[in-house]
Amino acid sequence: MPWPKGKPRAKSIKQCAKCNKIFPRTTEFFRIGRIAPTQFIGVKSSLCRSCMRLEQNRWSRERDAHFKRLALKHYGQYCACCKEWRIEFLTLDHIDGSGGKLRKENWLGRKTAQWAVQNRYPPVLRTLCWNCHMARNGGRVCPHDKSFIRSIK
C-alpha cells in the first residue's frame, strides 16, 4: 500500500518493496548493515526478511538449474543406460562410486553439477536417470543392463 499523501514517512518504519507491507525498521524484519558491531549504517535491504528468503530460494534454484544444464551439456543430455532424456529425471553419477567420499571431503551436497563445472568436467562423472542411478547405487546392477535381463530369462 503506498504512503498517504501529505503524511511524512516515519524513520522508524519501512515498506517492503515486494509485498508492500509496512514493518518496523529493525533486524527482526530487515537486514541491517553494520560498519562495526556497535555501528549501524541503516537498513541494507529493500525487502523484508520473508520476501528476501523467497528471493534467495529462487536465486538458488536458478543457479543450481544453470549448473545442471551446463554439466549435462558436457556429459550428455540423456541417461547412459536407458536413454531417458527429460532433465527432471537426470542426475550426475560417479562412475567409480566415489560420490560419498567426495561429498565428505568437499561438502558438495546437491552441488555436484557446480563442482563439475568449476573443476573443468572431471571424467569421473556420467549422466544417469534417477532410476538407473539408484539401481546402480552400492554396486548393484541396473535392470536396464542387458546382462541382467538375460539372467532373468
Rounded to 5 degrees, φ, ψ at 35 are -90, -45
- Locus of grid cell 558438495: 108
Q: How far apart are CA 4 and CA 95, in angstroms?
A: 63
Q: What pLDDT is attached to residue 104?
A: 78
Q: Whole-model pTM?
A: 0.72
- Locus of grid cell 516515519: 10
Percent of the chain with pLDDT over 90: 39
Q: What pLDDT is attached to residue 76?
A: 94
Among the ranges given (108-112, 113-117, 128-132, 134-138), the one the predictor scored with the smallest mean pLDDT = 108-112
pLDDT, mean of residues 89-99:
86
Cβ distance 135 to 141 under 8 Å? yes
Q: Which amino acid is at 139?
A: G
> CB burial class (10 A; 0-12, 13-18, 19+) of residue 79?
buried
- What is the gyration radius of the CA atoms in the chain, in angstroms? 24
Q: How far apart are CA 85 and CA 55, in angstroms?
A: 30
Cβ distance 125 to 93 under 8 Å? yes
Cβ distance 16 to 47 under 8 Å? yes
Q: Per residue in 24-36, pLDDT tens?
A: 877 778 776 666 6
Report helix, strand and coil shares of the chain as percent, to nearest 5. 40, 15, 45
Percent of the chain with pLDDT over 70: 76
Q: What pLDDT is attached to residue 67?
A: 95
Q: What pLDDT is attached to residue 48?
A: 87
Cβ distance 131 to 93 under 8 Å? no
Q: Which amino acid is at 87?
A: I
Inform me whether the pLDDT recorded for 71 exceeds 80.
yes
Q: What pLDDT is attached to residue 152?
A: 56
